[in-house]
Amino acid sequence: MRHLSGSSGRRYAVDDAELNSGGQAKLYRCRDDKGVVRVYKEYRTPLADPADIAQLTRIQQVGQAVVARAEAAGSFAETADSSVNWPIDIVRSGRQVSGVVVPLIPGDFMRGGKSPRTLDFLSLARANPPRAAVRVGVLIRVCDIFAFLESAQLLHGDVSAKNLVWRPSPSHAYLIDSDGIRSFSPAPAHGVCTPGWEDPRLQARKVPAHDRYSDRYALALALYKGLFLNPGGPQYVGGTWSRASGFPQHLDPKLRSMFARALDQPLATHDRPTAAQWRSTLQAVYLDDKGNFRRPALDVLDKYAQGYRAAFAQPKAAARIPAPAPAPALVPARRPAQRPVHQPPARRAAPPPPPPPPPPSGNNSGWWALVAVLVLVLIGGAGYLVFQGREEDGAGHGPSAGGRPCPAEIAADLPAGSGSDAVLLRHYVTERHDITLCRTVDDRVYYHGGLLDQPDAPTMTIPATRTDTGYRAPRGDYLYEIDGDRVRVTVPDGTTSSYRLKDVTDAG
């Protein structure tokens, strides 16, 4: 055990054993000089930039006051301001910052007391999320947190499913990875972001880093996923903005209008709704004057979401599809610049993306398959594998599934004007992948690929040519092949991983 002093003057006894270790930080359980359990997040590379240290110091002072007041009142993680995993102390080494101390995430936001219950478990159909009443309740609490931050003129900068945790009863949310919180002004000049949650202005290089309007965009995306269980979202496809279109037919017009303001115009800023506006609209649509849920409005959500749930209702003989990979046991905060993250998912700075990592030694084909997926995501953005074909499934041997419409979340991501008439061809799973094939009216086949064990990872879009037994889809030094009832991935060192395709088209 070692002992450290924070800038507050408080002493901490830090356990020798790591709680968790990420790419840029190590986490340790610690106790302060009053015996309160905290978490020490030690940066692998100390923070040295004076401007970033000044921002972190201001946020730490805010967090220290908020947490102390809430703990004294017995209301920690119950009020909006205390439902943030604030840095509450700073550990310095000379002029640099070695790490931060943060509160322990409350146990009722944990799954089985071990890992945080992230927003993945609220918004992904394959994770068996709760019914609409719980989701709406949690999302209103999410809006509470961001309404508080906006009122204090603070931004988070990396809002994503992994950085929001929740509890079902009473419904509430808690914001983590929060030592990157900073003031609205000056706008950040650098930062990190989670793939699939980037502000389109950042993708278009209109801003150098996420700002307060980026938080508004990501909040809208969280609501879009959480209310409707939509796994996709709006994105650039071939340089063209593909709008979100996965909405229930009978969604309240007020709410639909809010999503249009938030997501339809990728470079818009001031028209993006504030958290307070979202909260007000959600309450008006789903709660009556006495605070009770409006059942008909919830039924609209549950009926729409059932389409996604049914896709994962496997036949009895099918293997269980895994739920989202667990987050680390303790996920505290992040610092402003070049700051550590608790563990993957992969995160990136503003475009252009980094080059692919070097190949590992040995024959770790499973590792390479994941690298192939992530590298293609970083290079090509989010989307879906594009295949050419006529009246057949992805393996090139069979008709489509009776002319059923392409799932709404996939149709929303097809090129502009082609999604509305797209039809479902086949839905497959492998031990790691979720694959859906759709065909548009111009006979283009789109291959929607996702990782079952990485539910927050984006998907990708690459063209392919037909072979005698399936399709061949090269991209740089990577090659993807569908051959009969298998899909193969070949990576730059020549290693090939093969996965058996299981047809679950008729399961839902």
Contact between residue 106 and residue 174 where contact means Cβ atoms under 8 Å apart? yes
Q: Are residues 267 and 299 in the same domain?
A: yes
pLDDT in the model for residue 23: 61
Q: Are residues 86 and 128 in the same domain?
A: no
Domain assignment present for residue 197? The answer is yes
Q: Give the domain-ending residue among 104, 131, 166.
A: 104
CA distance 159 to 175: 9
Average pLDDT of the chain, as a whole number: 80
pLDDT in the model for residue 416: 63
- Identity (one letter) of the amino acid at 321? I
Domain assignment present for residue 367? The answer is no
Contact between residue 22 and residue 42 where contact means Cβ atoms under 8 Å apart? no
Local structure of 19: helix, strand or coil:
strand
pLDDT in the model for residue 174: 98
Predicted confidence (pLDDT) at residue 123 exceeds the cutoff of 70: yes
Higher pLDDT, 480 or 32: 32
Q: Are residues 75 and 111 in the same domain?
A: no
Domain assignment present for residue 347? The answer is no
Domain assignment present for residue 9? The answer is yes
Contact between residue 94 and residue 7 where contact means Cβ atoms under 8 Å apart? no
For the chain, what is the domain count?
3
SS (H, E, C) 213-257: HHHHHHHHHHHHHHHHCCCCCCEEECCEEECCCCCCCCCCHHHHH
Q: Give the domain-ending residue among 104, 136, 153.
A: 104
Domain assignment present for residue 16? The answer is yes
Most confident of 154-168, 371-385, 398-412: 154-168
Q: Which of 258, 256, 261, 237 is nearest to 246 (CA)?
A: 256
Q: Are residues 82 and 112 in the same domain?
A: no
Q: Are residues 131 and 188 in the same domain?
A: yes
CATH number at residue 441: 2.40.128
Q: Are residues 118 and 99 in the same domain?
A: no
Domain assignment present for residue 359? The answer is no
Summarised one tens digit per residue, pLDDT across range 172-226 is 999 999 999 999 999 999 988 888 999 999 999 999 999 999 999 999 999 999 9
Q: Are residues 242 and 190 in the same domain?
A: yes
Q: Are residues 494 and 417 in the same domain?
A: yes
Q: Are residues 286 and 417 in the same domain?
A: no
> What is the token pair recorded at 170?
């009473």
Q: Are residues 34 and 155 in the same domain?
A: no
Predicted confidence (pLDDT) at residue 232 exceeds the cutoff of 90: no
Domain assignment present for residue 177? The answer is yes
Lowest pLDDT segment from 75-84, 348-357, 430-439: 348-357
CA distance 59 to 56: 5
Residue 25, domain extent: 1-104
Summarised one tens digit per residue, pLDDT across range 413-430 is 677 666 567 778 888 888
